[in-house]
Amino acid sequence: MYKILLAILFAILFCININAQESKFDISKDLLILQLDCKTDVDDLHTAAGLATILKHPDYKDLNYFAVAGTYGIQKGLYVPPNELMKMAFKGNWTDADKEWEESNDKVVSKALNIIKNGGSIWIAEAGQSDFTADWVKKIRKENPSIKIRDVIHVVQHSDWNESVAKPVKLMYVKTATDYHKIADGNAVGNGTPGFKSDVKVDWESKLNDEHLTKVWNTAIRLGNKYNGMDGRYLNESVAEGGLDFSDLSEVCYILDLIKVKDTDEFFTYFMVD
């Protein structure tokens, strides 16, 4: 009897694993949301520029996306103002949760419901904490109890630190209510996900022969250099050395099945604009 129960348990776990692996981003109907905490590390500025670079690639010209700035948790320290960059990179396709938390929640809920009602799923690149996600997922769940949240809302997180400074009850809610994916840290190379952090200058200018993207990256780098370590903000040593850090973009690459892109240099080679 014990062996039979054990066999059934293994079969159930196997099926759950298979189902989890079957969840893939469908560019024809799904929505990608990049949520940036921007507190207190400047890496989110580079991450925003990274997404703007992906959007220029022909394969992703029809990518349905939305960006949110200010999705921070309970960490202390000053905010890194990204608005100049966000407007440049995403035009009107983003929202400012730092200044308008509830309004931004409502915007995401509206977009998410429209996608879900049309048979799509929501994929969140959690480039920060899960406090914001918990709030808008709760709204959807409360107002639409028939929606199977775990089937249609997928959250991808790469950082132990991000989890450690999320409000515990909100992180637990997101982990239990949604399809939560914890992937290897995007700060390191060779762990199964892209490592988008470089301590040396990256030759991106010669590969991005695009006036708009050049402006976006120059703005991201300028703002990053300005706020890096400023007034007690986190000092990103890679950025201080002249390198780039868009480690949170590893989550976007996971969602879009681009995990074979190894590092910062390969990223710009892959997304080279002629």
Residue 64, domain CATH: 3.90.245
The rounded percent of the chain whose pLDDT value lies above 90 is 90
Contact yes or no for 263/198 (Cβ under 8 A): yes
Asked if the peptide bond before residue 53 counts as cis, ω within 30 degrees of 0, the response is no
Q: In the prediction, which pLDDT does 17 show? A: 45
- pTM beyond cutoff 0.85: yes
**pLDDT tens for residues 177-233?**
999 999 999 999 999 999 999 999 999 999 998 999 999 999 999 999 999 999 999
Mean pLDDT in residue range 90-96: 98
Q: How far apart are CA 160 and CA 120, in angstroms?
A: 29
Mean pLDDT in residue range 51-70: 97
Q: Is residue 20 part of a domain?
A: no
Q: Is residue 143 part of a domain?
A: yes
Q: Is residue 78 part of a domain?
A: yes
Question: Which amino acid, 42?
Answer: V
Task: Classify strands 122-127 and 179-182 as parallel, antiparallel or unpaired.
Answer: unpaired
Q: In the prediction, which pLDDT does 23 show? A: 81
Is the pLDDT score of 19 beyond 80? no
Q: In the prediction, which pLDDT does 6 show? A: 47
Contact yes or no for 193/183 (Cβ under 8 A): yes
Q: Is residue 109 part of a domain?
A: yes
Q: 48: burial class by Cβ within 10 Å (0-12, 13-18, 19+)?
A: buried
Taking residue 75's Cβ as centre, other Cβ atoms within 10 Å add up to 17
**pLDDT tens for residues 229-268?**
999 999 999 999 999 999 999 999 999 999 999 999 999 9
Contact yes or no for 75/40 (Cβ under 8 A): yes
Residue 48: give the domain boundaries: 25-270
Q: How far apart are CA 131 and CA 168, in angstroms?
A: 9
Nearest to 216 by CA among 13, 45, 12, 5: 45
Q: How many domains does the chain have?
A: 1
Mean confidence (pLDDT) of the chain:
93
Q: In the prediction, which pLDDT does 1 show? A: 56
Q: Is residue 140 part of a domain?
A: yes
